[in-house]
């Protein structure tokens, strides 16, 4: 791909701040945090404007310190986390595919042990083992209504704030953690819907395929509903957790500041070449940003000149369309709407997947994709981290909440991830949209912001741990009080025991969100 360096960008409309935890010594970080030493700060902070390092960033240098410390620890533990993840995944599947620990020993004695194979429809992720439910619950009625709808009929049975739609979205968000074969099997055989495709997309900063997303339709012909589900934070993926704790941002004129790591995961930029964000997040021609590309584009004038030059008619390189989650999903949506004229779509995701779910329509707005935006039925996120500043929130609420709310952000109790990145009265990252908050008794409240919005606080420490104890006790009894569907397995209970030391981690598990949707009451 032809790109200009970031130094070639001129103008006030190009602004960013990058926190690089791998740069500078620990003394540089401490001097900047304690004294606001700009020279020390410039060793690990990169900005389009040096004044940011001594100005806005300096005002929040203690939060930047927390971000750097957390990301350094995560980086140090990266390889052990990866190896642990492989081991845990294999062990859990070894147990489940052989029936139990007893079944494993029995098969071992018989010489008939089942060895799990990654990438197959029987190999379930760690997230899947925490909550083994696959079938839809209240959404069964929704699926039946959608299947019985006639071609050309408007969506009358999908209400964004009802339990049926929420259940479908949450189960799809949980399913996004699985491999393509598991997703296909569940969508087709359990949900009786039409599996469209599963994409393993490239993160140009991480230099690996780390962004997964799948699409489904309620039926193969004359579909009424299309659903897009982004995968969330992998529990043993250090890069995913590092992204959640990242403070780096990119500012778009008249829109606001967006979390740089989430933009990279969506496939619309790379901090190693900051001009790439300007390239992918603008309404103007690429000529304004990539003079090399513009020269190639203008020097080839045949009917296939743009494609032969490596640039499509909108200035996006073909390889980017094939690799980037944003472009892959956008182009597939356009194809689907040619086949299903009356369909509308919902975007959903849990954790990091929730951040990508709301960023997707944001970028569509930047690209003036009016037709696709008119087809957007809504966005549902679960345990989603903050994605931008207050200005971004005002802009998106003006577009997504009128004439009716289309963006619902579901938060369970003391979940840590929605409290990231840190926020206070003057800090950068702010939530927006309708917050559906569930307490530990699954009581739903509609509010602007979840309680204890920053999680870390002395006054909340004791209540958080008491609630974690209550949740552990509840997990042991739910199979009796609410039915066998709610019985938690040993692995989920084990995680709750570990979570007593830091309740916000266990609260983030998808089992809490599924239970909130299915048992929640106003």
Give the mean model confidence (pLDDT) for residues 346-354: 96
Residues tagged active-site: 351, 415, 508
* pLDDT for the residue 399: 82
- pLDDT at residue 229 greater than cutoff 50: yes
Per-residue pLDDT tens over the stretch 45-102: 888 877 777 777 777 788 888 888 889 999 999 999 999 999 999 999 999 999 988 9
Is 447 in a helix, a strand, or coil? strand
Residue with the larger pLDDT of the pair 130 and 241? 130
- Selected residue with higher pLDDT from 385 and 244: 385
DSSP string over 207-259: TEEEEEEEEEESSSSS-SEEEEEE----TT-HHHHHHHH---EEEETTTEEEE
Q: Provide the pLDDT for residue 146.
A: 61
Provide the 3-class DSSP secondary structure of residue 444: strand
- pLDDT computed for residue 150 by the predictor: 56
Is the distance from CB of 51 to CB of 1 less than 8 angstroms?
Answer: no
Mean residue pLDDT of the chain comes to: 84
Is 50 exceeded by the pLDDT of residue 215? yes
The region of weakest confidence among 213-222, 297-306, 428-437, 480-489 is 297-306
320's CB contacts (< 8 A; 6+ apart) are: 1, 267, 327
Query: Can you give the pTM of this predicted structure?
Result: 0.88
**Count of CB atoms within 10 A of residue 116's CB?**
18
The residue among 59 and 521 whose pLDDT is bigger is 521
The encoded tokens of residue 496 equal: 């709750």
Q: What is the pLDDT of residue 316?
A: 56
Q: Which residue has the tokens 């944001």?
A: 362
The answer to whether 45 and 399 are in contact (CB under 8 A) is: no
* Overall average pLDDT of the 246-269 stretch: 91
Structural domains for the chain: 13-116 (no CATH), 118-146+157-283+320-453 (3.40.50.1820)
pLDDT band at 153 (very low <50, low <70, confident <90, very high): low
In total, the chain counts a number of residues equal to 522
CA 194/CA 216 separation, integer angstroms: 6
């Amino acid at each position: 791909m032809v790109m200009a360096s970031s130094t070639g960008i001129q103008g006030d409309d190009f602004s960013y701040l990058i926190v690089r935890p791998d740069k500078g010594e620990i003394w540089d970080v401490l001097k900047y945090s304690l004294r606001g030493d700009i020279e020390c700060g410039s060793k690990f902070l990169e900005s389009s404007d040096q004044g940011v390092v001594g100005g806005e960033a300096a005002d929040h240098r203690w939060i930047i310190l927390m971000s750097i410390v957390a990301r350094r620890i995560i980086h140090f533990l990266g390889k052990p986390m990866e190896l642990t993840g492989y081991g845990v995944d294999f062990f859990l599947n070894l147990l489940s595919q052989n029936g139990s620990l007893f079944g494993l020993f029995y098969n071992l004695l018989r010489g008939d042990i089942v060895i799990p194979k990654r990438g197959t429809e029987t190999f379930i992720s760690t997230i899947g083992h925490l909550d083994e439910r696959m079938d839809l619950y209240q959404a069964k009625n929704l699926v039946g209504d959608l299947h019985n709808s006639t071609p050309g009929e408007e969506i009358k049975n999908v209400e964004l704030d009802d339990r049926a739609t929420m259940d479908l979205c949450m189960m799809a968000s949980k399913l996004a953690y699985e491999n393509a074969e598991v997703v296909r099997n569940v969508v087709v055989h359990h949900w009786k819907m039409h599996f469209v495709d599963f994409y393993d997309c490239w993160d140009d900063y991480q230099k690996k395929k780390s962004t997964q997303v799948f699409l489904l339709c309620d039926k193969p012909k004359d579909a009424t509903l299309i659903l897009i589900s982004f995968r969330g934070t992998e529990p043993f993926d250090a890069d995913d957790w590092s992204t959640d704790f990242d403070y780096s941002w990119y500012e778009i004129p008249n829109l606001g500041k967006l979390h740089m790591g989430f933009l990279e995961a969506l496939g619309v930029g790379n901090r190693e070449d900051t001009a790439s964000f300007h390239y992918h997040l603008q309404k103007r021609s690429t000529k304004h940003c990539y003079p090399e590309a513009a020269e190639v584009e203008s020097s080839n004038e045949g009917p296939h000149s743009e494609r032969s030059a490596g640039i499509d008619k909108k200035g996006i390189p073909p390889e980017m369309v094939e690799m980037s989650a944003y472009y892959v999903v956008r182009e597939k949506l356009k194809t689907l709407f040619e086949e299903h004229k009356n369909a509308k779509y919902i975007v959903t995701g849990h954790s990091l997947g929730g951040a990508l779910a709301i960023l997707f329509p944001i970028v569509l707005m930047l690209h003036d994709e009016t037709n696709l935006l008119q087809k957007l039925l809504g966005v549902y996120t679960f345990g989603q981290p903050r994605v931008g500043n207050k200005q971004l929130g005002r802009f998106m609420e003006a577009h997504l909440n009128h004439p009716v709310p289309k963006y619902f952000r579901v938060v369970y109790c003391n979940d840590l991830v929605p409290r990231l990145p840190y926020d206070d009265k003057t800090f950068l990252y702010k939530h927006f949209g309708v917050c559906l908050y569930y307490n530990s008794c699954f009581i739903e409240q509609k509010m602007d912001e979840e309680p204890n919005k920053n999680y870390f606080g002395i006054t909340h420490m004791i209540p958080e741990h008491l609630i974690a104890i209550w949740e552990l006790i509840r997990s042991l009894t739910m199979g009796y009080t609410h039915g066998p569907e709610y019985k938690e397995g040993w692995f989920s209970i084990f995680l709750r025991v570990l979570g007593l030391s830091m309740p916000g981690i266990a609260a983030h598990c998808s089992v809490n969100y599924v239970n909130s949707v299915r048992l929640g009451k106003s």
